[in-house]
Amino acid sequence: MSLSESPQPDQAMLVVRPGKWTLVIVRLLRAETLRFNELKRHANGVSQKMLTTTLRELERDGFVTRTIFATIPPRVDYTLTALGRELLELADSWRVFAARNRTQVELARERFDAGATQHAIKLIQSS
Amino acid sequence: MALSADFHVDDDDEALELVRPGKWTLVVVSLLRTQSLRFSELKRHAGGVSQKVLTDTLRSLERDGFVTRTMFPTIPPRVDYSLTDLGHELLVLADAWRVFVVRHQSQVQQARQRYDAAALEPDAGHADSP
């Protein structure tokens, strides 16, 4: 999208949106530069492809810089930019929210999953 | 690898991995700010979301207790989505996100232009292999 087509504030959210791993990755980079493999190890359960996509998006948007060292094997480091540090603040407030509401969310999930099971049983019984 | 002392996975980090936004989470939550909306209305207002991704997003918001889904036995059936109290708390985060994006979107778009321009240069590709 070119700058002249800059969206209205209401649509701004469509321009930059966090993915499932965005905030997790940004928080991992809080204190230091990390390599791809280190990020992969610490971001529980992220796939190689998803991590690559997330990092590329963060780099493209200017939140992360990627530095390649011509060692053998090549080493690739990721660091937060100044803009990335601002994103970190949002990631932190998300974490506070997640920690505060975790129990409620887990209860909601149990109810939802139990409801889905009952629905499936009814469907089986009625067929 | 020596990690600094403040680097550790604690319960709160697990919470972050448990509850986190997908690409459309905050957009959908913002759309539900003032009113209930039907699926087709959400789809229309969330520019460019696919049917499948919107379905997944709404299901995950409902499962997590942020959104309620009400079905009306009309013909055709009508399904309304609205925010719960917990969903309204999520709205606060969505608003913070929007403020952030509005403030920084020109910086982000300039970064994208640089990135895309660099990717087009024949010798300065984004090759991951040596």
Q: Residue A87: its pLDDT value, please?
A: 95
Distance from CA of A25 to the nearest CA of B (A): 11
Helical H segments across chain A, by residue range: 12-15, 22-28, 36-42, 48-60, 82-126
Distance from CA of A51 to the nearest CA of B (A): 14
Q: Residue B125: its pLDDT value, please?
A: 47
Helix (H) or strand (E) holding B8: none
Among the listed residues A5, A32, A12, the one whose alpha carbon sits nearest the alpha carbon of residue A88: A32
What are the tokens at B45? 């207002």
Helix (H) or strand (E) holding B38: strand B37-38
Look up the ipTM and state it.
0.78
Residue pair A24/B16 in contact (Cβ under 8 Å)? The answer is yes
Name the average pLDDT for chain B: 84
Spatial distance between the Cα atoms of A8 and B74, rounded to a whole number of angstroms: 36
pTM confidence score: 0.80
- pLDDT tens-digit map of A21-62: 999 999 999 999 999 999 999 988 899 999 999 999 999 999
Asked if B1 is an interface residue toward chain A (Cβ–Cβ < 8 A), one would say yes
Among the listed residues A127, A19, A27, the one whose alpha carbon sits nearest the alpha carbon of residue A87: A27
φ/ψ of B81, rounded to 5, equals -120, 135
With a CB cutoff of 8 Å and minimum separation 6, the contacts of A44 are B9, B17
Spatial distance between the Cα atoms of A39 and A28, rounded to a whole number of angstroms: 7
Residue B113 with chain A: CB contacts under 8 Å: 3
pLDDT higher at A121 or A77: A77
The arithmetic mean of pLDDT across residues A10-19, rounded, is 80
